[in-house]
Amino acid sequence: MISSSSDSPVIIVDGLEKQYRKGFFGKGVRALNGVSFDVRPGEIFALLGPNGAGKTTLIKILLGIIRRTGGNASLLGFPAGDRRGRMRVGYLPEHLRIPRHQTARTALEFYGQLSGMTKGAVRKKADGLLELVGLAGRDRESVKQFSKGMLQRLGLAQALLHDPELIILDEPTDGLDPVGRSQIRGILERLRDEGRGVFLNSHLLQEVELVCDRVAILQKGTLRFVGTMDELTPDTAGEVELKLIGSTDAIQRVLPDWKATEQRSDANQPVEVTLPAKDQAEVDALIDRLRQESISVVSMKWQGRTLEDAFLKLVGDSTGDPGRMVN
């Protein structure tokens, strides 16, 4: 367990701005526009956003790979990019490339030493970590024989090697099979339980939904949402989708606004109906009335209450609908 001296955030981003210059006199591209949030120890925080939203830019600023043009960012209490902060961070980059002359073991030794570890300390931890990420017994193999998924596993191992307080993972499940994803989820949950902060950048919303405590959604460099999963997908308001079997008259008695759009030849043919609903109690009452009319409820599904729905609603469609801003 990480013994954190305080519950102070491991990442603080305050009004962060980044403008990329284009050419020598070019006006440039604004990649981040006043982004603010924080990440606390012992939580899994996901940064979501469509391609080009500025997610990787934000991570690069935090790690000092690129410089901010405005605002502030800090990592474990140190300014973003400070070596003392980077010392306590484990990072798995997107599209990780480990030089082909390395084996899994030499790669761990190399990256471990870059993090300030001795070779001996790396050796002590290497076997356990390789086993944890599912690479046990593959340590002497050259990485050029590794699949993309195996490279990701090795990348995760090197990120965890020096017991970092904060782990930043950029698309960690990229290239992994379902079993691998499940293993990674398990590792992330374990890290959270140990009190470490996990900052996740992923496209796979279902993965995020399954493990994350809080999310931030970026769109074109602007923060659209930051909060818990419950705040993003509330169980109040929305629409409910029902699949019913019954006579047209019976259905119309319960749902007067519903109109059959086509001639139904068979009363056993299912009918799909979407209705606004305030809460579950209102839905329960409706189902009771349907049952009284001997209408069978084949299936029922709440619309707009998954992460994907919320995400799509926030970032809008490809036409550029900005969606709903949440502060």
Partner 1 sequence: MRPYFAIVADSFREALHSRVLWLLLALITIFLLLLTPLSYSQPLTKKFSRRDVIDSRAFTKRLVAAGRADKTSPQYAIYSQLSESLQEKITAIAKAANPDRESVRSARKSIINEFNALVKKNDLFADIPEDSLKLNSESKQLLAIATKDRTADQNQRLNRVIIERSFRRDLEPSPSKSVLLTYFGMPLGSALPLSGDNFEDAVKTVLMVFMDLIAAPVGVLVAILVTASIIPNLFDAGSVNLLFSKPIMRPFLFLAKFFGGCWFVLINAAYLIGGLWLILGWRLHVWHPRLLYVIPILTFLFAVYYTVSSLAGVVWRNTIMAVVATIMFWAICFGVGLAHDAMDALLIQPNRIVKITPAGESMLSVTESGSVAAWNKDSNKWTSCFGGRTNEGAPAFALRNRLTGPVYDEANDRIVAVDQKWGRSKLLAGSGEEEFEREELGSAPDGTLALDVAPNGDLLLVDRESIARIEPVDKKQTADLNMFGFKYTLGPKRGAYKTISPKNFDASRATAVSIHPEDGSVLTYGGGELSRYVRNSEGNYELAAARNVYDSADAADDADDQTKAADAVMAVGGSQIVLADENGVIRLISLDTLETDATFTPFPKLEPRFALATDGGNFFGVLFHNRKLWLYDVGESKDISSRLAGQGKITAAEFSGDTSLIYSDRMERVVECSLPDGKQVASREASLPLLNKVFFYVIKPIYQVFPKPGKLKETAQYFLVEQESLQASESDSLSAARVKLNPWPPVRHSALFMFVMLAGACLYIQYQEF
Site map (CB under 8 A) of partner 1, residues 132-161, x = contact: -----------------------x--x---
Of residues 260 through 319, those in contact with partner 1 by CB under 8 A are none
Q: Which is nearer to partner 1, 100 or 278 (CB)?
A: 100
Q: Which is nearer to partner 1, 27 or 83 (CB)?
A: 83
- Contact between 108 and 155 under an 8 Å Cβ cutoff? The reply is no
Q: Whole-number minimum distance, CB 229 to partner 1, in Å?
A: 28
- Contact between 24 and 176 under an 8 Å Cβ cutoff? The reply is no
Q: Which is nearer to partner 1, 74 or 115 (CB)?
A: 115
Spatial distance between the Cα atoms of 42 and 194, rounded to a whole number of angstroms: 7
Q: Which is nearer to partner 1, 43 or 109 (CB)?
A: 109
DSSP, residue by residue, 205-270: HHHHHHH-SEEEEEETTEEEEEEEHHHHS-SSS-EEEEEEES-HHHHHHH-TT---SS--S-TTS-
**Of 55, 60, 196, 224, which one interacts with partner 1 (CB under 8 A)?**
60
Q: Whole-number minimum distance, CB 65 to partner 1, in Å?
A: 5
The separation between CA 37 and the C-alpha centre of its own chain, rounded to angstroms, equals: 15
Q: Three-class SS of residue 137?
A: coil
Q: Which is nearer to partner 1, 36 or 106 (CB)?
A: 106
DSSP, residue by residue, 282-321: HHHHHHHHHHHTT-EEEEEEEES-SHHHHHHHHH--TT--
Determine, following the binding rule CB under 8 A, whether residue 63 of this chain makes contact with partner 1: yes
Pick the stretch among 1-9, 62-70, 239-247, 261-269 that binds partner 1 (CB under 8 A).
Answer: 62-70
Q: Whole-number minimum distance, CB 182 to partner 1, in Å?
A: 24
Q: Whole-number minimum distance, CB 301 to partner 1, in Å?
A: 40
Q: Whole-number minimum distance, CB 105 to partner 1, in Å?
A: 12
DSSP, residue by residue, 15-78: EEEEEE--TTT---EEEEEEEEEEE-TT-EEEEE--TTSSHHHHHHHHHTSS--SEEEEEETTE
Determine, following the binding rule CB under 8 A, whether residue 169 of this chain makes contact with partner 1: no
Q: Which is nearer to partner 1, 67 or 124 (CB)?
A: 67
Task: Indicate the helix (H) or strand (E) that contains 280.
Answer: helix 280-292
Residue 133: closest CA among 163, 168, 158: 158
**Of 22, 67, 278, 289, which one interacts with partner 1 (CB under 8 A)?**
67
Q: Which is nearer to partner 1, 105 or 224 (CB)?
A: 105
Of residues 76 through 135, those in contact with partner 1 by CB under 8 A are 83-84, 86-87, 89, 91, 93-102, 106, 109-111, 113-116, 118
The contacts of residue 244 (CB under 8 Å, 6+ apart) are: 251, 270, 271, 272, 273, 290, 295, 296, 297, 298
Q: Whole-number minimum distance, CB 214 to partner 1, in Å?
A: 23
Q: Three-class SS of residue 11?
A: strand
Q: Whole-number minimum distance, CB 201 to partner 1, in Å?
A: 12
Give residues in contact with partner 1 (CB under 8 A).
Answer: 60, 63-67, 83-84, 86-87, 89, 91, 93-102, 106, 109-111, 113-116, 118, 155, 158, 168
